[in-house]
Amino acid sequence: MYARLIGEAIAQRAAGPLLFLRRSVDVGLNEAVEVEGADGAVRLGRIAALDEDTVTIELLDDTAGLALAGTRVRFLGEALHFPVGPGLLGRVFNGVGKPLDGGPPLAARQSYRVDGLPIKPSARAAPCEFLETGFTAIDLMNSLVRGQKLPLFSGGGLPHDRIAVDIACNARLPGRAGADAAGARDFAVCFAGIGIPHDSAEFFRNEMEKSGALARTVLFLNLASDSSAQRLLTPRYALTAAEYLAFTEGKHVLVILTDLTNYCEALREVSASRGEVPSRKGYPGYMYSDLATLYERAGRIHGRPGSVTQMPILTMPNDDITHPIPDLTGYITEGQIVLDPELHRRNIYPPIRLLPSLSRLMKDGTGKGLTHADHPALAAQLYASYSQAQQTRLLASVVGDDGLSATDRKFLAFGDDFEQNVVHQGTAARTLEESMATGWAALRGLPESELHRLSDQQIRAHCVPG
């Protein structure tokens, strides 16, 4: 790295977030800069394009008030880095890694590039260890595995903030003796609020302080009023912190990012101001690749103890799962958990709609030797039966309950029972064993001949009353 360079009186043109400089120093693509305007404000930026005469800088802060005269540019000589070190846990930062909690600056031990580097597929260890969230609809039906990325697709007015906090507070590494003592030391949460309203930010902070979860959490808060270019950095800072905790300190880190929709809106805004050709719904054509650079940072690495698990939360615009944001996310992440306004109105918490929900890595992290031998079959049977219950509901809505056969009526009852007793659980966290017990109980309402996904042995062991 070379000495930090300062360029003065080289600004030639400014347009939107872009600043064009005369090329007077030898700098490289993607390196970070600090632009100090005549107004004294320091703005962060990066070098977006270079030719022989001009350096194009993309500013990550609001450019209002920036003038060409009197603007000084400091070239940092390397891409944006986040200095991290022990003592991260329990701290609150803004979207670009500056402390918000009034505490001292972090005693940095290492500095990592916020963009991260892609992990070689051959260096990745396949995720196979279960992570308990406390929600039956996730643990039993769509198990989360350490190193996985499993997004929560929410909608307007749904309690995703509450769910995020509950998971941050209740998540644990199960199956260890003294899980609360030893397990808690190995477990950490990295929580990033991206473009969230002030109220939500306060809510997250207070709830975590109240439950004591803040001690094992790093909080990054980018408020709705912060600049949109900064919003693009928030998840990157959070993930850099998570990678440090996981791969240097050896912790199992759960990263909760909320709300990715704000991130994508910021991406669209910045892309439009750069004058790029838009793709679907005005979002840039590279949104898939850009989101992948975030989501793909989840994982485990061979020979290193920790893991980064991601739970990004996004609100589907107009509750439309085919909107580019959930659509592209779903193509990258390993499954999705979908929230449902109808279940929410019926006061079911968490209002998780199971049929479109999926955890792709569940097969690798559940079953014999991992969770419970009958776990996968139970989940498969519940899925099949619930799916049939939904179809029967559709039928009943046309022909009425009277037109149904006895078996169909049992399925109707099963559907209601399943939603009320298995999916719904209120605020109390359940262990996986408790979740499985509620699942077996629900299946007892169905005739044995309908349980095609269970072996005779499993039926005898769990589904025969008494």
Residues sharing a CB contact under 8 Å with residue 34, sequence separation 6 or more, in sequence order: 42, 43, 44, 45, 73, 74, 76
Q: Check residue 272 for interaction with other proteins (CB under 8 A).
A: no
Q: How far is the CB of 127 from other proteins (least distance, A)?
A: 6
Q: How far is the CB of 343 from other proteins (least distance, A)?
A: 16
Among candidate residues 321, 317, 332, the one with its CA nearest the CA of residue 287: 332
Q: Check residue 32 for interaction with other proteins (CB under 8 A).
A: no
Q: Check residue 262 for interaction with other proteins (CB under 8 A).
A: no
Residues sharing a CB contact under 8 Å with residue 250, sequence separation 6 or more, in sequence order: 186, 304, 305, 306
Q: What is the CA radius of gyration of the chain?
A: 25
Q: How far is the CB of 288 from other proteins (least distance, A)?
A: 6
Site residues for other proteins, 327-346, by CB under 8 A, read 327-328, 330-332, 334-336
Q: Which is nearer to other proteins, 200 or 359 (CB)?
A: 359
Q: Check residue 285 for interaction with other proteins (CB under 8 A).
A: yes
Binding mask 41-80 for other proteins (x = CB under 8 A): -------xxxxx--------------------------x-
Site residues for other proteins, 361-420, by CB under 8 A, read 361, 363-364, 376, 380, 383-384, 387-388, 394-395, 398-399, 403-405, 408
Taking contact as CB under 8 A, which single stretch among the options 206-214, 233-241, 272-280, 438-446 is the one that binds other proteins? 272-280
Binding mask 421-450 for other proteins (x = CB under 8 A): ----------------------------x-
Give the separation between CA 439 and CA 422, rounded to whole angstroms.
6
User: What distance lies between CA 222 and its chain's CA centroid?
Assistant: 15
Binding mask 86-125 for other proteins (x = CB under 8 A): -------------------------------xxxxxxxxx
Q: Looking at residue 423, what DSSP letter applies? A: I
7, 10, 31, 256: which one contacts other proteins (CB under 8 A)?
A: 31
Tokens found for residue 315: 């609100």
Q: Which is nearer to other proteins, 293 or 431 (CB)?
A: 293
In sequence order, what DSSP letters do the residues of 194-231 get, joined into one string? EEE-HHHHHHHHHHHHHHTGGGGEEEEEEETTS-HHHH
Q: Check residue 306 for interaction with other proteins (CB under 8 A).
A: no
Sign (positive/negative) of CA torsion 319, 321, 327, 332?
positive
Strands 217-223 and 92-94: parallel
Q: Which is nearer to other proteins, 200 or 329 (CB)?
A: 329
Q: DSSP strand E in 237-287: where?
A: 252-258
Is 67 in a helix, a strand, or coil? coil
Q: How far is the CB of 257 from other proteins (least distance, A)?
A: 16
